Amino acid sequence: MQPPLRAVALMGPTGVGKSALALELAEACGAAILCCDSMQVYRGLDIGTAKPTRKERARVRHLLLDCCELPDTFSAARWARLAHEAIRAENAAGRIPLIVGGTGLYLRALTEGLAEIPPEDESVRTRLAEEAKRLGTPALHARLARLDAETAARLSPNDTQRVLRALGVTETTGRPFNDWLRTARKASARIHCPVFVLEMPRETLRERIAARFAAMMDAGWLEETRWLASLELPEAHPAVRAVGYRQLLAHLRGACTLEVAVRDGITATRRYAKRQMTWFAHQTPEATRGDAEQLAPRIQRALAGEMDA
């Protein structure tokens, strides 16, 4: 049997300081950073996703950045396939990569695998998208609840992307989306990947999020969002619905003032960070948690290949 692939994961909510800690540790250990972020994969979305700068990329190799060209969409399954390839290549060269990010679903897709869910019929998807515009996503969510109560219970009535996906698969296959999830096929490649979750006091994180949002605005985030708007992507596209971008797009469309957009964006980012913390608490119970000072030496040992890290 082939030995398991080896990686180390540093996860945590947005704004908690993962990137700074990862850069320091990866540089010291000669490791590559494998980015686990559902928005940093998109080329052109740099400021609002807090991508590493050119100087930071010069210091440490970063993998799985800018690997998707808009208007294409990315997925957890696609990320997991690319991550497997990257980890295998790093291991073959005698290195253990450091997975860094806040997208817990991507990490789970890598370590546990995802359900082999068939794609929706294109005509079904088109029809549902039109119905969502005409009737509203809550109406489609109610239909999903009649066909697949378990999936509907997990989704917000306003989560257009996931409601359309679940309903599209259900109507295409005649089988509830939740049934497909139950028959998930585990990833074929085994991975040894200790997980570390970076934490800090909630009030400190709230202040950091507000300060970072302001800094990104100063760096030209509004202009970056203006470019995104020019692409005229569908409303259900992940880039359009991304936290921060969504609020700034509302301003550019005349729905609110810039001041309101920034305020709402900060609030949405804080809520997103809270959801991330909840995810890691429930989905990674085996993870080692702590602040940067507590985690740094343990992550360093793990990157050095010590199994008891």
**Residues 124-149: pLDDT tens digits?**
989 999 999 999 999 999 999 999 99
- The CA distance from 277 to 201, in Å, is 12
> How do residues 110-119 score in pLDDT, each as one tens digit?
998 776 677 7
- The CA distance from 126 to 130, in Å, is 6
pLDDT over 50 (residue 308):
no
What DSSP element (H or E) covers 178?
helix 177-182
Q: Which segment of 26-35, 73-82, 205-214, 267-276 scores lowest on mean pLDDT?
A: 73-82
pLDDT over 50 (residue 188):
no
DSSP code of residue 34: E
Amino acid at 4: P
Cβ atoms of 14 and 106 closer than 8 Å? no
Provide the pLDDT confidence category of residue 66 given band limits of 50, 70 and 90.
Answer: very high
> How do residues 38-48 score in pLDDT, each as one tens digit?
999 999 999 99
- For 34, list phi and psi in degrees, rounded to 5: -105, 110
pLDDT over 70 (residue 185):
no
Amino acid at 142: A
Q: Which segment of 175-184, 205-214, 222-231 scores lowest on mean pLDDT?
A: 175-184
Provide the pLDDT confidence category of residue 199 given band limits of 50, 70 and 90.
Answer: very high
Query: 117 pairs with which residues across the strands?
Result: none
| CA torsion through residues 59, 64, 69, 73, sign | negative
Q: Can you tell me the mean pLDDT for 166-194?
A: 80
Burial 259-288 (b: 16+ CB within 10 A, else e): eebbebbbebbbebbeebbebbeeebeebe
pLDDT over 60 (residue 253):
yes
**pLDDT score for 184:** 53
Q: Which domains does the chain carry?
A: 5-114+186-303 (3.40.50.300), 122-182 (1.10.20.140)
Provide the pLDDT confidence category of residue 186 given band limits of 50, 70 and 90.
Answer: very low
